[in-house]
Amino acid sequence: MSVLLFGVSHRSAPVEVLERIAVSDHERPKLVDELLSSRAISEAMLVSTCNRVEIYAVVDAFHPALEAVGNVVGEHSGMTINDLTSHAYVRYSEAAVEHLFTVAAGLDSLVVGEQQILGQIRNAYLDADSNHSTGRVLHELAQQALRVGKRVHTETGIDRAGASVVSVALHRAQYLLAGASGSSDEPAMRSAVVVGAGAMGGLATAHLAREGVRSMVVVNRTVANAEHLAGNITANHGIEVRGVGFDDLPAVMADADVVVACTGSVGSVIGVGDVHSALAARGTAGNAGKPLVICDLGLPRNVDPAAARLPGVHVVDIAGLRGMAEAKAAEDDTLAARSIVAGELADYLTAQRQAEVTPTVAALRQRAADVVEAEILRLETKLPGLDDPQRDEVAKAVRRVVDKLLHAPTVRVKQLASTPNGDHYAEALRELFELKPGAAEAVSAPESGLAESGHLAQSGLAESGHLTQSGLAESGHLTQPGLAESGDRGITASEQAEQ
C-alpha cells in the first residue's frame, strides 16, 4: 500500500477554481465514502481549507486509484478531466509524505508560517477517523505530520509575527484606511464588523481587538452564536462587542471602517445591495466620504465580486493577498523549517522501510524454527534413548546455532532497508530462502507500512507522462513547484523545469 495525494491549492489554481472544488464540512464524509467505494483505495483523508483541497489516499494500484479520485472530484466540482489537469497536482509515496509535512509546517500556505493549517489537518484526520476511513498508514502519517508542524513552529521563528491570512488582510485594510485619512494620529480601524462566528470569525475578532478596534459587531445567521463570540471578546479584551443577525448587516456595515467576511457558506452572504445600502447610510452614521474596506476571507467567496466596483469600496480577498511581502516568512526561518521537514521525512521513510522488511525477517525466523523443530523430532526417532535433559540440551544447542547464524543477516537487512533500493535486500531473502510474500505478511501483518518503499521509479509512474488511462496527468500540469527536489520524487520531468 502507498499514499496517493491529489490536490488543488492557491499555488496551482485561481480562486474561481478553488471555489468550485471547495468541500464543506458536511460534504466531506460523503466524498470520503465515495473514494472508499473504489477497490483501489483502502484509506482516505480530505483536507479542505480556504486555500486548498487535498485528498490523501492509501492505494494498492496507482492508476485505478488516481482515476477514481479524479472521478469523485470531477463529479463534485462539475469540472471535466481536462479542467482538472490544468490545476491539480499529484504526489505519490514519499513525495506525498513530503508534501503533507511541508503543508503542516506552514511552508506551502498562502501566508508562509501560519499555524491554522495544523488545526485544519487535525480536524481532517479526526473526521476521517470518526468516519472509519483511516487505517494504520494514514494514522501514522497524520500524527507524524502534526508533530513535524509543531516542531517547526517551536524550533524556528517562522511564525514569530503571528502571521495568518487574517492578520495580513487586516494589515492591508489598515494601509488602505490610513492612506485615505492621511493622518497617522487616529487609529485607522476604529469600528469593525465580522461576518461569521466560527473559527475564522473568532480569529478575526481577536486580531481586531489586538489592533485597537474600539467597537465591533459580530454578524451570524444564528444570533446566539454571534452573541456568544461577542461576549468572549468583551470579556477577554474589554471592548464593546455585540452580536446580531443578518437582517442588521447593512445597518452595522454603515458604521464600520472594516468588514471581515469569513463564513463557510456556499455563495455570497454580502451582496451588492447590502453594500449599496450601507454606503447610502454612511452619511448619517458620520462616515461620509470614508472608504469601506471589506476583507473577504471565505472560500467560496462571501462577497459578491461586483461590490468592489462600487465607489468608496475596497475588497481585499485571498487572490489579492498572493505574493504580498507580509505573507512571506524570513528566509533564514524558512530554510530552517525546510531542514526540519527534510530530516523528519528521512526518519519517517527509514522507519517505514524498516517496518516493511519485518514480515520477511519474521518469516525467515519462523522458517528456521520450523526446520529446527523438524530436526529435533527426527533426532528423537533416531536416538530414542535420549533422556529429557539430553534432549533439551541438544535442542537448545541447535537453536543457539541457528539464532547466531541468523542474527547478523537479519540485523543487517533491516539496516539496509533504509537505503535506496533497500527493499531489494528483503526480496533477495525471500528468493534465497523460498519465503512466500503471503507467508511473511501472515506472520507479521500489523508491521506492514508503505509497501512501495517510496521508490517511485519502481512503479512506472511517469510512463510518457500519462498517469491514467483517463488522461488525468497528460502533462506536467499535475505538479506543484518547489516540493520535489528530484525527478524520482515527482511525477514528470516537467516538474523540475517548473522549479
Instruction: Tell me which residues are annotated as active site.
Output: 50
Residues 6+ apart with CB under 8 A from 221: 245, 246
Task: Report whether 157 contacts 330 (CB < 8 A).
Answer: yes
Euclidean distance between CA atoms 206 and 28, whole angstroms: 28
Residue 412 Cα distances to 53, 291, 445, angstroms: 42, 70, 21
CA dihedral 266, 269, 273, 275 (to 10 degrees): -130
State the SS3 of 135-168: CHHHHHHHHHHHHHHHHHHHHCCCCCCCCCHHHH
AA identity, residue 30:
K
Question: Alpha-carbon distance 493 to 499, whole Å?
Answer: 11
Q: Which residues of 404-416 are buried (b: 16+ CB within 10 A; e: fewer)?
A: eeeeeebeebbeb
Alpha-helical segments (H) within 383-417: 388-416
Q: Distance between alpha carbon 318 and the CA centroid of its chain, in Å?
A: 19
